[in-house]
Structure 1
Amino acid sequence: MNILILGSGGRESAFAWKISQSPKCQKLFIAPGNAGTKQYGTNVNLKVTDFAGIKTFVLSNDINLVLVGPEEPLVKGVHDFFLADEQLKGIPVVGPQQEAAQLEGSKDFSKQFMQKHNIPTAAYKTFTKDTLQDGLTYLATAGLPVVLKADGLAAGKGVLICLTLEEAQQELVEMLAEAKFGEASSSVVVEQFLQGIELSVFVMTDGTHYKILPEAKDYKRIGEGDTGLNTGGMGSVSPVPFADAAFMQKVEEKVIIPTIEGLKKDNIPYKGFIFIGLMNTNGEPWVIEYNCRMGDPETESVMPRIESDFIELLLGVAEGNLNEKELTISPKTAATVVMVAGGYPGEYLKNKVITGTENVRESIVFHAGTGTDGENVISTGGRILAITTLQDSMFTALQQATADASRIYYDGMYFRRDIGFDLL
């Protein structure tokens, strides 16, 4: 099979690494890819939202399956674009259609969906510029801390946890009246704050059947001890010790099944991944958010634990027979340490030469924000590399990933040395 992956980050690197191992994979293309994805397939200089360019490439390279990594092309309707085109409609796309992608593309849509289908989630209200005064009044009655979420896509930065009423009211004004997150915050969800410990649960579905992939926990804050600014993710661990069989059964019964059934009841077709951000509150799962794709850096910890042929699973999603496919999961622990640019998540250093990746012994180096300059691999993004290892114990995995990250060098290099230590 000839397969095209859309995307350029660590998640897409992990997909490419896994897919390239399948005997079913004849040719693998990654658009646009990065300096690391070249070792698994061929990079293609295409933007993930250039649907016309993607069409031309898919037809001229006899592509049999398209796997969509990031959320933006899904929310903008890449799957619908394929279905509406006579030449493309027979080529399967793994990733939901535009309406289903609203589970991530609109916080208000997803909250309404959860409420309608009795899926446990925090109490909320949604406000716009026109109802800003009502929002300010509502905040005065809401408990603290309170969570403000930009309704649309804000590159992972549109969620604020406010500790005081003054802060919450000021942020609401900035989001709605001053467009703090642009179009994304033209409406804002004000939500009750849930206390507990977070984890990510991943589901593959063909719209009827589903498989639960390995769960993971990611670490969002830039600083050790979970301090400082939020980032796209500084590391991840899978499995998650507190997500035992009893807890995961609750997740399946109270969240996963009602989600799949709710999509069916609402006549929303869904072929792809559902990423469920959960809070474990006193042993009960509460949904914080849905995403319509796999997480990053969680994918880098999830993929090494999947022992089955990943292309078989993707075909199961595309062909509607996922229930007939086998999913085997390794009992080992995967740990991922993300290496970022100096200054990230603020203004960060770019175009720094990366050395030492060849010294990494026991880990996989997944590239994220990297490119090439002649013979050199250079940094191009905020999150640069994801170092993942698979080991028998969590302690060994965390130690190994951290040690291997230390073997790599670039100017301004930074990574957290405490990923997963709260779970030990």
Structure 2
Amino acid sequence: MKILVVGKGGREHALLRALLESGQEVELYCHPGSDAIAEIAEPVEAGGVAELVGWMLGKKIDLCVAGEESYLVKDEGLANLCADAGIPCWGPRKESAMLEASKAFAKLFMQRHEIPTGKAWVCESIEEAQDAIGGRFPTVLKFDGLAAGKGVAVCGDEHAANEFLTEVFSRKRFGGGKLLVEQYLEGPEVSIFAAVSGENYEIFTPARDYKRIGEGDQGPNTGGMGAVASRQLVTAEELARIDSEIVKPTVDGLIKDGLEYRGFLYFGLMMTADGPKIIEYNCRFGDPECQAVMPLVQGDLAQYCLEGAQGHLNSELLTFDNGWSVCVVLASAGYPESSSNGDVISGLDELEGARVYHAGTKKEAGQWVTNGGRVLAVVAGAESREVAVEKAHAEAAKVTFDGSQRRADIGILHF
């Protein structure tokens, strides 16, 4: 089976590794890829989405897997162009991917289909946002668009809120766009992933990620400094409620709205005292949650995604390990405000019993060096959370580079 995965980060590295381990003969390609990904998948160059789909036609690609979200809404949309070309794509069409591309679109969808969520106000200026906040703190501010996981701020006071509002409206850090002021919800966060193919869906292993740069959830938001995944993360009763109140109504809502969906769908949830409430959707696997979840997925993922992209979800192709998986991210100096490139990475050959996924690296003169904000993800698993935590942190500590940032409380905090 010839498969192209679209993206270049740690998530795509994890997906490609899982596809390679599917148990059948696969020929893997990736666009744009990375030096690490090139060791298991052939990189593909293309000037845009249309050119990439043209390459897929010429290469007779059997399946396209959307890893990175931007391609789903770029130009005509990756899945849309694949459909026009007759190429199965595991990723939603552009109009459905608006669930992630526009926070306002998603919030209206939730309200329309009575899916539990916090209150929100859409604002087009600093003044409108300040009026919507109305002196209520903490408050949640979200840029209405794609922002690589950095377009959300939980503000504890007026100063923090005004700083973020200035970033959005005056400095236009994320480009032009609106902003949502959202009700602050309290409780433990849980990431739920579902494979969706039309009216059918299957919930994968739940996860919890750690967004802030510093231990104890201090400092600015990042793309994610680590994650823990397990079927034991929520109780059977909690998962049943999440399914009936949030996942199923979302899938039913997509059908009612005429939004075709085939691919992974992420539900960012807050487990409040009133029950689960949805914070946001992502129209792909989370990062770094994917790196934590994929080692727990067993079976033929390649065939599973192909059949799902063709409209049939075959749950018999996969099984899920009931243990725990802990993912520890190593970030470069300056992250998340900036990143340090070219720092030599040492210790990778010393790791035992752990997986390493490359997010921001490149190879120079035979050595791995940093090439981005989040550099590596070290993942270890075990039957118990405590053992998985110990293994993941012990192995991550073996990897060093100048300015390395790593949270020592991944898998410990919030438990």
Q: Secondary structure at the match of 1:384?
A: strand
Does structure 2 retain, via aligned residues, the 8 Å contact 1:241–1:423? no
Corresponding residue number in structure 1 for 2:22: 22
Corresponding residue number in structure 1 for 2:326: 335
Separation (CA, whole Å) in 2 of partners of 1:383 and 1:58: 30
Deviations along 1:84-107, one digit per CA (max 9) or x if unpaired, are: 3xxx2x210111011100000000
Does structure 2 retain, via aligned residues, the 8 Å contact 1:139–1:165? no
Q: Is 1:144 aligned to residue 142 of structure 2?
A: no
Deviations along 1:243-270, one digit per CA (max 9) or x if unpaired, are: 1101001100000000000000000000
Does structure 1 retain, via aligned residues, the 8 Å contact 2:123–2:180? yes
Of 74, 99, 103, which aligns to 1:103?
Answer: 99
Corresponding residue number in structure 1 for 2:212: 221
Corresponding residue number in structure 1 for 2:61: 63
Does structure 1 retain, via aligned residues, the 8 Å contact 2:206–2:233? no
Q: Secondary structure at the match of 1:122?
A: coil
Deviations along 1:389-419, one digit per CA (max 9) or x if unpaired, are: 1212111111111111112222222211110
Q: Is 1:209 aligned to residue 194 of structure 2?
A: no
Separation (CA, whole Å) in 2 of partners of 1:416 and 1:5: 29
TM-score between the two structures when normalised by the length of structure 1 = 0.93
Deviation at 1:24, TM superposition (A): 3.0
Deviation at 1:32, TM superposition (A): 2.0
Does structure 1 retain, via aligned residues, the 8 Å contact 2:231–2:322? no
Corresponding residue number in structure 1 for 2:372: 381
Separation (CA, whole Å) in 2 of partners of 1:188 and 1:173: 11
Gaps of at least 5 residues in structure 2 are none
Deviations along 1:60-91, one digit per CA (max 9) or x if unpaired, are: 3221100010110012211112223xxx2x21
Separation (CA, whole Å) in 1 of partners of 2:149 and 2:83: 29
Deviations along 1:197-229, one digit per CA (max 9) or x if unpaired, are: 111000001111001010100011111121112
Corresponding residue number in structure 2 for 1:39: 39
Separation (CA, whole Å) in 1 of partners of 2:334 and 2:265: 32
Q: Secondary structure at the match of 1:422?
A: coil
Of 269, 287, 291, which aligns to 2:282?
Answer: 291
Does structure 1 retain, via aligned residues, the 8 Å contact 2:232–2:322? no
Corresponding residue number in structure 2 for 1:230: 221
Separation (CA, whole Å) in 1 of partners of 2:266 and 2:32: 23
Corresponding residue number in structure 2 for 1:83: 83
Does structure 1 retain, via aligned residues, the 8 Å contact 2:269–2:277? yes
Of 305, 321, 333, which aligns to 2:296?
Answer: 305
Residue type matched to 1:18 in 2? A
Gaps of at least 5 residues in structure 1 are none
Deviations along 1:109-140, one digit per CA (max 9) or x if unpaired, are: 000000000000001111114xx544433322
Corresponding residue number in structure 1 for 2:71: 73
Corresponding residue number in structure 1 for 2:12: 12
Corresponding residue number in structure 1 for 2:49: 51
Residue type matched to 2:20 in 1? S
Q: Is 1:280 aligned to residue 277 of structure 2?
A: no
Deviation at 1:332, TM superposition (A): 1.4
Does structure 2 retain, via aligned residues, the 8 Å contact 1:145–1:162? yes
168-177 vs 363-372, greater mean Cα deviation: 168-177
Separation (CA, whole Å) in 2 of partners of 1:274 and 1:54: 23
Deviation at 1:361, TM superposition (A): 0.4
Residue type matched to 1:41 in 2? A
Deviation at 1:168, TM superposition (A): 3.3
Flag the 1:308–1:283 CA change in 2: closer, same or farther, 3 A: farther
Deviation at 1:170, TM superposition (A): 6.0
Q: What is the aligned residue count? A: 413
Q: Secondary structure at the match of 1:23?
A: coil
208-217 vs 315-324, greater mean Cα deviation: 315-324
Separation (CA, whole Å) in 2 of partners of 1:387 and 1:246: 31
Corresponding residue number in structure 1 for 2:110: 114
Of 125, 147, 154, which aligns to 2:147?
Answer: 154
224-233 vs 155-164, greater mean Cα deviation: 155-164
Flag the 1:236–1:311 CA change in 2: closer, same or farther, 3 A: same
Separation (CA, whole Å) in 1 of partners of 2:274 and 2:349: 43
